[in-house]
Amino acid sequence: MKKVLQNTTIDTLSIDCLIFGFKKNELDILLVQHGEGISKGKWALPGGWITYNESIDKSASRILNDLTGVSNIYLEQLKAFGGVNRYPTKRVITIAYYALVKPENYTLHPGFTATDAKWFRLSEVPHLPYDHNMILLEGVKYLKHKVRHEPIGFNLLPKKFTLLQLQQLYEAILDKKLDKSNFRRKLLKMNFLEACKEKQTAVSHRAAGLFQFNKRTYNNLTEKGFTFEL
């Protein structure tokens, strides 16, 4: 792991990452244990300082990777938290980022100032330092809203997936049964799924066609006022 220590940090501005994992119909959150600083030993959201020569988006990716080893995920900005006393020793404004991933796809490598990194069930999250519990609550609230309006769950599946896998994912998130045939028709008509030429292998029944999510097509659609509803 490469660290960019030569870059100066902006010491009033930090990033905190909300990495949600979806596993066994439960939402998990990725926390790290601080190895130094004022909250040494405590579990907290992976976070760190923005540097002068990085966009805030890039800072978020770097910080997450340095602390947990998780890389190559699509982080989106949630919002900034800027209460005067949210940080104990000085004034710090933090920008929260979030992502929803499949925990199995990542092996955690705690690093930099983190001595450990672990998935916590939302119901078992301990008391977190600063305003991290509040940030987490905001993130959960936003996620539940968002999952109903955008195809946010595609990164929980392998790059190439069958329509049934996709359907089961939505059934789990929305907590209701969907009709296979109608689900298929509806999703395909939206035009942001493209059929790979391949088929499923190693299954003991007829192999299903594999599809992948085309983000470019999806973005085109959203610009034209398309809305995603299931």
Partner DNA sequence: TAACTTATGGTACATTTGACTACAAGTCAG
Partner DNA sequence: CTGACTTGTAGTCAAATGTACCATAAGTTA
How far lies 54's CA from each of 63, 76, 141, in Å? 11, 16, 29
- Residue 172: partners with Cβ closer than 8 Å, 6 or more residues away: 22, 25
Structure tokens at 204: 């003991």
Residue 80 in contact with its own copies, rule: CB under 8 A: yes
Structure tokens at 215: 């983000």
Considering CB distances under 5 to 8 angstroms, the limit depending on partner class, which of DNA, its own copies, none binds residue 209? DNA
- The greatest distance separating any two alpha carbons of the chain, rounded to the nearest whole angstrom, comes to 62
Residue 10 in contact with its own copies, rule: CB under 8 A: yes
Return the number of other C-beta atoms located less than 10 Å from residue 92's C-beta: 18
Residue 136 in contact with its own copies, rule: CB under 8 A: no
* 148 secondary structure, DSSP code: T
Please identify which residue in 149, 180, 186, 199 interacts with its own copies, judged by CB under 8 A.
149
Structure tokens at 210: 């594999």
Considering CB distances under 5 to 8 angstroms, the limit depending on partner class, which of its own copies, DNA, none binds residue 121? none
Positions in the binding site for DNA (CB under 7 A): 162-164, 179-182, 184-186, 199, 203-209, 229
Residue 53 in contact with its own copies, rule: CB under 8 A: yes
Of 95 and 128, nearer to its own copies (C-beta) is: 95
- Residue 161: partners with Cβ closer than 8 Å, 6 or more residues away: 210, 211, 212
Contact letters (x/-) for its own copies, 158-177, by CB under 8 A?
--------------------
Contacts with its own copies, residue ranges (CB under 8 A): 1, 5, 10, 12-13, 50, 52-57, 59, 77, 79-80, 82-84, 90-91, 93, 95, 144, 148-149, 225, 227, 229
